[in-house]
Structure 1
Amino acid sequence: MTADMPLSADTAITGPYGSRSPLDYYLVMPGPGQAGGPEAPVDGIVVEEFVLADDHTATGLDSAGWSVTDGTWWSSAAFSRDMRTDPALRDRVLAVHRRTAEAVYRRIGGEDLPGEAALRARFRDRLPLDDSAPLLLGSPRVPEGFRERRVYRVLFAGDLDAERLRRLRDLWSMEPAGGCADPTARVAGTARMRAGHDTLTWDLRRIGPGTAWCLDLTACLGGSSDDGVGSLLRELTAAMRHARLIPVTIERFA
C-alpha cells in the first residue's frame, strides 16, 4: 500500500522553500489500499486546487473529475467533501504526480490530459471553506530580530502507518518529540529550517487515532515578503498527500 513515488525527491524541500506544484492529482482506484501507476486499473482521475487568501490560508477547494465509465469531466463539491469524510472512498483515493495522471489518461482516454489552464476551466462547483480571521490564541510574541510571527495548521484526513510516518520523519530530519514511540502520542516529530531572513518550525501532530493528522507551522518572518511561507506549505502538504493523507484545509492561529 504505497503511494505513487512516495516521499521521493519530488516531495522533498528542494530550495530555500521549494518550487510550486499548482494542481493536485489523484487516482480513484477500484478498491481500497491499492498502489497506483501508469498501468494500474482506475475508476477515474480527480484534480484539485485550494483557493488561498493573501495570507496563504484556504478559503475554498476547486475540483474536477474524469470518470472512466463515461469518459466525461465533471465538477462536484460533494465528491471532494466525501474524499475527506468517507473512509471507504478515502481508502480508494491515491495522490499521484501529473505525469502518472497523464499516462493513465492517455492509456484509457486515448488522448493527452488537458493542460492546467484547461483543467481549471472545468472547476465549476467550489467547496467553500472557513475564511474567518486568524484565531489569536493570546498575544503573539514576536522573537527579537523578526517582524512577524505566524502559526498555521494544515489539517489532513486519514491515518499514517508506522512506515509512512518513519519516512516523513526521515524526509524532514525531524527531531523526535517526547513519547513519540507511543502510538497515541500527539506530536510525532519537529523539524526546523532557516531560509533567508525567516525561521520556520513545523510539528507533525496526530489529531486522533486513525482519524486525522496535521502539520503546525510556525513562521518567524524577518524579510519583507511572505511568499516563501506559501511555497513551504505547498511542499509540506505534497509530502503528506503522497503519504496517503488528504488535505482538508489550511488555517491560521496567529
Structure 2
Amino acid sequence: MSVETYATVPVVAATPLDYYVIVDGSGATAEAVVVEEFVRAPDWCTVGLDSAVWTPATGWRSSSSFSRGMRADARLRARVRPVPRSVADAAHRQLGGGPLPGEPGLRDRFGDRQAFPAAAPLLLASPVAPEGCHERRVYRTLFAGDLPADRAAELAARWPAGHHAPAGVLAAGRRRVGGDDHTWALRRIGGGVAWAIDLTVALATAADHSVGPVLHELTTAVRLAGLIPATTERFA
C-alpha cells in the first residue's frame, strides 16, 4: 500500500457540493438534478443533510424526503446517477434551466434540513493514540447502492489493498498530511449488502484540520464510482 505525503491541507469553510442526475426508467434521459451537502459536527461526523431538487416543471425545491428516498427506495436509487458538477450543469441546460447556479446560490435553495441523531462516538476499539501522536480517531462512511464491477476495479487500481487485505476489503490507502497519518479501507459490510470506507486518523496535535478534506476526498471518489453516501459515524 503506497503512502502519499502532503505538507499541509487548507482549512476549508465548505467543501464542494455533491451532484446527482435523476434519469428516466430507460436510463437514457435526464429528468432532474439534485444537489446535496452533508452538515458536519466539529469532529467531522455527520449531523445533517441539506438538499435541493430541480425539475423543469417545479424549478428548485428543498426536499429532505427526496434525499431519503434516494437512499432507501431501490427503484428510485436505480435512477440516480452520482455525477461531477459539469455533468449536472449539462443536464440542467439540456432540460431548459440554463447554467447551473453557483454553489452559494445553490445553498440558498436548501431549506428543510434532514437532521441526524447526535450521539457520542461508539468506542468499538481502544482510542489510545500511537506513540508520538495526540489522538487516534476512527470514522466509518456508509454508502447506499451497488458498485458496478468496472468502477470497483477502478477503485481497486487507484487504492490497491494488496494480497494480504482482510476479507471484504476492496481497496485501501494511506496518506500523511503534515504530521497526521490517515489510513483507509473500502469494504463490504453487513454480510455484503452495503459498502463503507473506514478511515483511521492518528493526529499529531490537537488540531484536526486534515480530517475533513480527506473524508470529503475519499467520499467523493466512491460517490463518483456510483454509490450514494449516507452518513459518517465516528467509532473512536
Asked if structure 1 preserves the Cα contact closer than 8 Å seen for 2:223 and 2:229, the reply is yes
| In structure 2, C-alpha distance between the alignment counterparts of 1:242 and 1:75, rounded to whole Å | 23
Asked if structure 2 preserves the Cα contact closer than 8 Å seen for 1:160 and 1:243, the reply is yes
Asked if structure 1 preserves the Cα contact closer than 8 Å seen for 2:159 and 2:171, the reply is no
Asked if structure 2 preserves the Cα contact closer than 8 Å seen for 1:57 and 1:251, the reply is yes
Aligned to 1:182: none
Match of 1:217 among 191, 194, 199: 199
Gaps of 5+ in 2: none
What are the Cα deviations for residues 215-244 of structure 1, in whole angstroms up to 9, with x where unaligned? 000000114421111100000000111111
| In structure 2, C-alpha distance between the alignment counterparts of 1:71 and 1:78, rounded to whole Å | 16
Match of 2:17 among 23, 28, 31: 23
SS in 1 for 2:219: helix
Aligned-CA RMSD value:
2.3
Asked if structure 1 preserves the Cα contact closer than 8 Å seen for 2:84 and 2:224, the reply is no
2:92 counterpart of 1:105: yes
Asked if structure 2 preserves the Cα contact closer than 8 Å seen for 1:177 and 1:187, the reply is no
Match of 2:121 among 128, 134, 154: 134
2:107 counterpart of 1:120: yes
Q: With the length of structure 1 as denominator, give the TM-score of the two structures.
A: 0.83
Aligned to 1:63: 51
After the TM superposition, which of the residue ranges 159-168 and 125-134 deviates more from structure 2? Answer: 159-168
Q: With the length of structure 2 as denominator, give the TM-score of the two structures.
A: 0.89
| In structure 2, C-alpha distance between the alignment counterparts of 1:43 and 1:177, rounded to whole Å | 44
Could you tell me which amino acid in structure 1 is paired with residue 66 of structure 2? Answer: F
Structure 1 residues 209, 42: closer, same or farther in 2, change over 3 A?
A: farther
What are the Cα deviations for residues 194-224 of structure 1, in whole angstroms up to 9, with x where unaligned? 2210111111110146631000000001144
Aligned to 1:93: 80
Match of 2:186 among 204, 214, 231: 204
Paired residue total: 230
Identity of aligned residues (%): 50
| In structure 2, C-alpha distance between the alignment counterparts of 1:95 and 1:209, rounded to whole Å | 25
Match of 2:161 among 174, 178, 181: 174
Structure 1 residues 62, 157: closer, same or farther in 2, change over 3 A?
A: same
Question: 1:67-78 maps to which residues of 2 (within 5 A)?
Answer: 67-68=55-56, 70-78=57-65
Structure 1 residues 176, 74: closer, same or farther in 2, change over 3 A?
A: farther
| In structure 2, C-alpha distance between the alignment counterparts of 1:164 and 1:138, rounded to whole Å | 31
| In structure 1, C-alpha distance between the alignment counterparts of 2:106 and 2:5, rounded to whole Å | 26
Cα drift, residue 142 of structure 1: 0.9
2:68 counterpart of 1:81: yes
